[in-house]
């Protein structure tokens, strides 16, 4: 494995008495593509939300490039990170949501060109030409002046991926990117993600229910249950010959549903 990019160190997250993440340890290398699978309520999405600093963690430290994310080093001690520190660290992170969350009052092009301007201080002309390139890359150049409501789910998700890339992140986080899509548009989105995984050097963390897709693009699969990693390893090992009974049960159920 190349250099370590992300490390979860004994990370716990609780909602009241419910423990969603239980002393999670997870290390992801630079350029590695990791998929998280598991039953609903197993804490998969919470891993992503904690990494994106959308949720504070209760215990433990998340590291990115060897720098603590949810903590800050002040005079030799680790203290809770300030909003400014979180903001700085988030420039390395990009997230694609299950429900796209495109801005409905902006065209697709504005969705991709405005965030770099207002959040990074990019020049409007540069941000615009970059956005045009990215929309071309995801096959949306002909729709750049459309509003999100005028597009299919698959088209919206491709535009949302372009918007995420416009911020030039190093780490891409996908939260069930195809779960809100009609079956016939899933393929166009998975093709875009596949291209990102194979042709680019992004570090990718993906939560998905599409086992075949996860097997195709991932370097590693993590099976989650009850806030812990039950089993992890190369796709072939975890999906084709799982060792843990819970993994076997889950994969059997998923296979039946297909």
Partner 1 sequence: MDWRWDFTFETVIPRILPGLWVTVEVTVLSFFLALFLGLFLMLAKRSKISFLAFLAAEFIEFMRGMPLVVVIFFLFFVLPMAGIYLPPIWTGVLAMGVYNSAPAAEILRGGLQAVPKGQWEAAYVLNYPPHQAFRRIILPQAVGPVIPGLGNLLILAFKETPLLSFVAIPEMLDTAKRIASETYRFTEPLTVVGVLFLILSLVSAVFIKIVERHMIPEMRHGR
Give the interface with partner 1 as residue ranges (CB under 8 A): 52, 54, 87, 90-91, 93-95, 97, 99, 101-105, 114-115, 118-120, 146-150, 163-164, 167
Residues 30/2, Cβ–Cβ less than 8 Å: yes
Dist CA 72 CA 79 (whole Å): 5
Residues 67/31, Cβ–Cβ less than 8 Å: no
CB of 119 to partner 1, least distance (A): 4
CA-wise closest residue to 96 among 160, 6, 189 = 160
Give the residue with the Cβ less far from partner 1, 63 or 103.
103
CB of 38 to partner 1, least distance (A): 22
Give the residue with the Cβ less far from partner 1, 164 or 203.
164
Give the residue with the Cβ less far from partner 1, 94 or 235.
94
CB of 50 to partner 1, least distance (A): 13
CB of 233 to partner 1, least distance (A): 30
Residue 170, both tokens: 């190093």
Residue 140, both tokens: 């949306």
Residues forming a β-bridge with 94:
172
CB atoms within 10 A of CB 116: 21
Give the residue with the Cβ less far from partner 1, 87 or 252.
87
CB of 184 to partner 1, least distance (A): 22
Residues ≥6 apart with Cβ < 8 Å to 87: none
Measuring CA to CA, how many Å separate 140 from each of 128, 161, 185, 210, 215?
A: 14, 11, 14, 24, 27
Give the residue with the Cβ less far from partner 1, 5 or 163.
163
- Going across the sheet that includes 67-68, the strands are 18-29, 4-15, 59-64, 67-68
CB of 93 to partner 1, least distance (A): 7
Give the residue with the Cβ less far from partner 1, 102 or 221.
102
């Amino acid at each position: 494995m190349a250099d370590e990019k992300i490390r979860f160190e004994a990370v716990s997250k609780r909602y009241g008495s419910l423990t969603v993440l239980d002393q999670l340890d997870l290390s992801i290398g630079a350029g590695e593509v990791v998929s998280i699978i598991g039953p609903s309520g197993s804490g998969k999405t919470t891993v992503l939300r904690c990494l994106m600093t959308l949720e504070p963690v209760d215990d433990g430290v998340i590291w990115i490039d060897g720098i603590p994310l949810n903590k800050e080093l002040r005079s030799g001690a680790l203290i809770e990170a300030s909003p400014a520190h979180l903001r700085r660290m988030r420039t390395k992170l990009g997230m694609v949501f299950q429900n796209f969350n495109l801005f409905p009052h902006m065209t697709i092009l504005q969705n991709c060109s405005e965030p770099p301007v207002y959040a990074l201080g990019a020049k409007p002309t540069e941000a615009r030409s970059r956005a045009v390139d990215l929309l071309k890359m995801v096959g949306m150049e002909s729709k750049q002046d459309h509003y999100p409501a005028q597009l299919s789910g698959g088209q919206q998700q491709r535009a949302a991926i372009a918007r995420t890339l416009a911020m030039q992140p190093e780490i891409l986080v996908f939260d069930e990117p195809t779960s809100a899509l009609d079956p016939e548009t899933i393929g166009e989105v998975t093709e875009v993600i596949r291209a990102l995984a194979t042709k680019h050097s992004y570090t990718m963390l993906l939560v998905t229910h599409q086992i075949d897709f996860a097997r195709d693009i991932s370097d590693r699969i993590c099976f989650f249950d009850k806030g812990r990693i039950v089993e992890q390893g190369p796709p072939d090992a975890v999906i084709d010959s799982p060792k843990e009974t819970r993994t076997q049960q889950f994969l059997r159920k998923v296979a039946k549903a297909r």
